[in-house]
Amino acid sequence: MTRAAMGLVDLHCHLLWGVDDGCRAPEDSLAAARALVALGYVEAVQTPDARADFPSRDAALCEARFAELEALRAREGVPLRLQPAEELA
C-alpha cells in the first residue's frame, strides 16, 4: 500500500473474479471495490496469480475479466482506478 497525493493505492489486489484465490463473482468484486473506496483508496493494481494451478495463467481470461470489471465499475459509478498486473510468486 502506498499513499497517492489524493488517496491510497492498493498495489496487490485480487478483484478479478474467478481467476485465482480472490473474488468469486462480479458482485463480490464490486463490493470489494466499494469497500476499498470507503477506506480511502483511489487506485487498485490487479495482481492475479500467474501460477499454473490457477485459471489466471490464461492471459486472455485475465484481460477479459479486467475489461468486464472496468465496465462494471464505471456503470456502477465506483471511483476506483484500476491497473493491470500479475503476481509472479
DSSP state of 49: B
* pLDDT tens readout for residues 11-66: 999 999 988 888 999 999 999 999 999 999 999 999 988 777 776 677 888 899 99
Higher pLDDT, 25 or 88: 25
pLDDT at 4 over 70: no
pTM of the model: 0.85
Give the model's pLDDT for residue 62: 87
Give the model's pLDDT for residue 3: 54
> What residue has cell string 470507503?
38
User: Which grid cell sits at 22?
Assistant: 480472490
Helix extents (H) in 1-89 = 26-38, 59-76
Alpha carbon distance 75, 54 (integer Å):
28
Per the CB < 8 A criterion, the answer to whether 17 and 23 are in contact is: yes
